[in-house]
Structure 1
Amino acid sequence: MTTGVTASAPIRVWTRLPVAARIAVVYIAARVVTTGFFAVAAALSTPASRYGVSPSLTDLAIGWDAQWYWLVAVSGYPSELPLAAGGHVAENAWAFMPLYAWLSAAVGTLMGSWGAGAVTVSLLSGYGACVVLHGLLRERIGASAAMWAVVLFACGPLAALFQVGYAEALFLLLLFVALRCVQRRRWGWLYLLVPAMGFTRPGILAFALFLGLYGIHRFLRRRGDALPVRERVHIVALGALATLVGFSWQVVAGIVTGDPGAYLATELAWRRSWTGDSEGGFIPGDGWVQAAGFWFTQWGLGAWAGSAALVLLIVGIACALIFVPQVKMLGVEVRLWSASYLVYLLLVFFPQSSVFRLLVPVSPLWGALVVPRSRAWRAGVLALSLLGQWWWIYNMYGLGNAYWQIP
């Protein structure tokens, strides 16, 4: 009898904790594990790595894209676009939105360095995103499954982004709050969230598409779910605002540099590192076609195999979002957002190793992996997630010396 009571005591204590406190415990434990992975990867780092031998955790946290955000914070944006040897626009700071960089600088003034501020913003944003994700899923799949989705999110293959100088964690927090506002039909906050998302990282045009699809969905179902005029006005106005914000950075870059195509040319500079094409301009969807040919040729399979794989990938994802019962349980907001964001990536992105990082905005889909599932299944998914996290950290930070090892 005593053994039974003792065994259940921790469970009773756990269930009595507020949800935010339980999520904090999960999140802190996950960050300890991630820090351990970073420490081991640093110890295994070789002279061939971009970080050198035995880099510090600080070196890893403010490496790669974090250096661009730091440059934005301390130097701003160039008024004259730098040119590469081939005469085309070189990689430069215009590819990185300012909000995360500036917020990190503001926090960093209190903590002694930009890097400390950046990691703090990422850590706190990641925790906030976990809390909001739980609320976003709880009413759809239940509290227990929602907590498991948070566990997988906090421990996922890309969870290292919660403690490095990247803007993803802040964007996820803003995005999840925005989706929660749509879910609860609280439109006022979105007039602040949309610009904030738009100036944190690229992706707000996907939210504009999401609002359009959501408005169509609500209109078609208006007999069973009333769509008052006030809500119609908000949806249209917010969709227009998201579209305006989505193109505004191109306008800003054009005004400052005097080159209307400054932003797109800057984004294409990264793609040319892979394709070597210094003449081609931006064509929606062309990046995936180019990448399919590039990667499958690298693997010795031919460009035709890449095109076939791309078609199968698109069809498979579409079927999953439409027909898989576990995905349907997550609610129309999560499904429409996921579809919109994937369409956005299909139109603008050139797939390479960063594709894993760029997929984190569809993280609410973690909920589909935990309902209705056994504890053994969930534990297995968690183990695979942690294994994937170690693989990503070791390759992108510990090794980090090949073209496919860019975080």
Structure 2
Amino acid sequence: MHATARGLSAVVFVLVAGTQAASGWTDASPSYPQYTGLMWDASWYRAIAEHGYPSTLPRGDGGAVLQNSWAFYPLFPLLTRPLLAAGLPWEVAVPTLAVVLSGLAMLVVHRVLTHAMAQPAAGDLPGRVRRAVPLTGVALLATAASAPVLQTAYTEALALLLLASALWALQRERYLLAAAPVLALGLTRAVALPLVVAVLAHGVARWRRDGATRWPALAALAAATVASGLAWPAVAGVVTGEPTAFTATQSAWRGRAAVVPVLPWFDVSRWLLGDVGPVAVVLLVAIAVGLLAARPVRRLGAELWGWTAGYLGYLFVAVEPGTSLGRFALLAFPVVGALAQPALGSRHPRAAVGALVVLGVVGQVAWIGLVWRLVPPAGWPP
């Protein structure tokens, strides 16, 4: 299923590449490997794989920190080095690695959703629905609008694999095992801290169910999660000699002069919608709260509910909204398990699921054609 979805996305990439104008990354009408392996942030990951990180932060004439490699985490480009050493060109090695990693991620996502549907919280669903949710969820995730990023030189594939692996181990109370992907996640993307909410939700659920749990091991996992979330900014500060190196680098990509929580959502909303913008933000928050309170999400269990809540909160607090939100949303993968439940429970489940898949594929065409495709001289990043 994942292979079919990635093949379909590849066809769209090839068709859109034929309309791609020349850019700083590729000539006009690039090949499929060039289009998926050289565009956008791929150039940063390639620089890291080949040259590492700068020891000092580059600055402009006014002293502000310029865009630089410290904004990008090291594990994914490090994994590409053996492939490059074997003689594979970057544009072949990295998209291939992403497809393999995302394929493994889909297998783990399936196991995570299978475990969730076997728990008492999902007991009010018909058996046929519980059995079908995992595979349907994978189908919806593989065909989601921004799923094509899972076959490009971006970190979503690796992050999805590590995140799903951590939640799989947490579901089964294998806390020491969970620590390994959690720590690796902290070197992949800035999404380890929201996992603390999943760990806490898991602990509360076990305490309510059994009256006790392995608190020392769970506390150690929570501490590892916090440490993982803080590790890369700390490394950037130590190597460059500037404690705020990571946040200063992040600010180079933002509309505001500094990284501040929440306010960018209101800035962007006013820019797009004028005075109605803040109202739209409040409405969006209300929708997110409603989603978390909805029965299909709560059926997924404490771990998946906790991750979804923590991650949505993280996106609101720490991210400046833009065209990258589409690919960020892939890591909120439990939502596909929630969407699958009403679709499978409807009077015409095949038609309902098929409609969701078709919507996703149409979204992929739009995502590649409108977001991934660059119209020079500049564009909004995917």
Q: What's the TM-score once normalised by structure 1's chain length?
A: 0.84
RMSD: 1.9
Once residues 402 and 316 of structure 1 are traced to their aligned partners in structure 2, the CA distance between those partners, rounded to angstroms, is 36
Question: Letter of the aligned partner of 2:261 in structure 1?
Answer: P
Counterpart position of 1:78: 54
When residues 377 and 85 of structure 1 are mapped into structure 2, their CA distance, relative to the original with a 3 A threshold, is: farther
Q: Deviations over 1:39-97 (max 9, x none)?
A: 10011223589755211112211211111111111111111111134431011000111
Once residues 76 and 355 of structure 1 are traced to their aligned partners in structure 2, the CA distance between those partners, rounded to angstroms, is 27
| Residue of structure 2 aligned with 1:319, choices 269, 290, 294 | 290
When residues 321 and 93 of structure 1 are mapped into structure 2, their CA distance, relative to the original with a 3 A threshold, is: same
Counterpart position of 1:397: 372
When residues 99 and 49 of structure 1 are mapped into structure 2, their CA distance, relative to the original with a 3 A threshold, is: closer
1:322-401 pair list within 5 angstroms: 322=293, 324-371=294-341, 372-373=345-346, 374-401=349-376
Percent identity over the alignment?
32
1:33-72 pair list within 5 angstroms: 33-47=8-22, 51-62=26-37, 63-72=39-48
1:285 aligns with 2:262: yes
1:197 aligns with 2:185: yes
Unpaired runs of at least 5, structure 1: 1-25, 297-301
Counterpart position of 1:135: 111
Q: CA deviation at 1:29?
A: 1.1
Counterpart position of 1:91: 67
Once residues 77 and 99 of structure 1 are traced to their aligned partners in structure 2, the CA distance between those partners, rounded to angstroms, is 13
Q: CA deviation at 1:36?
A: 0.3
When residues 387 and 326 of structure 1 are mapped into structure 2, their CA distance, relative to the original with a 3 A threshold, is: same
| Residue of structure 1 aligned with 2:2, choices 11, 27, 32 | 27
1:217-256 pair list within 5 angstroms: 217-219=205-207, 221=208, 224-228=209-213, 231-256=214-239
Q: CA deviation at 1:289?
A: 2.6
Q: CA deviation at 1:366?
A: 0.7
Once residues 15 and 354 of structure 2 are traced to their aligned partners in structure 1, the CA distance between those partners, rounded to angstroms, is 23
Once residues 132 and 155 of structure 1 are traced to their aligned partners in structure 2, the CA distance between those partners, rounded to angstroms, is 17
Check conservation: 2:19, 2:29, Cα contact below 8 A: yes
When residues 47 and 98 of structure 1 are mapped into structure 2, their CA distance, relative to the original with a 3 A threshold, is: closer
Q: CA deviation at 1:267?
A: 0.5
Once residues 84 and 337 of structure 1 are traced to their aligned partners in structure 2, the CA distance between those partners, rounded to angstroms, is 39
Once residues 310 and 94 of structure 1 are traced to their aligned partners in structure 2, the CA distance between those partners, rounded to angstroms, is 30
Counterpart position of 1:13: none
Larger Rg: 1
Counterpart position of 1:103: 79
Counterpart position of 2:271: 294
Check conservation: 1:352, 1:404, Cα contact below 8 A: no
Q: Deviations over 1:84-116 (max 9, x none)?
A: 344310110001110000001123323523333
Check conservation: 2:197, 2:309, Cα contact below 8 A: no
Q: Deviations over 1:108-153 (max 9, x none)?
A: 3235233333222211111111111111112416332211111111
SS of 1:365's equivalent?
Answer: helix
Which deviates more from structure 2 when the two are superposed, residues 94-103 or residues 104-113? 104-113
Unpaired runs of at least 5, structure 2: 118-128
Once residues 337 and 179 of structure 2 are traced to their aligned partners in structure 1, the CA distance between those partners, rounded to angstroms, is 28
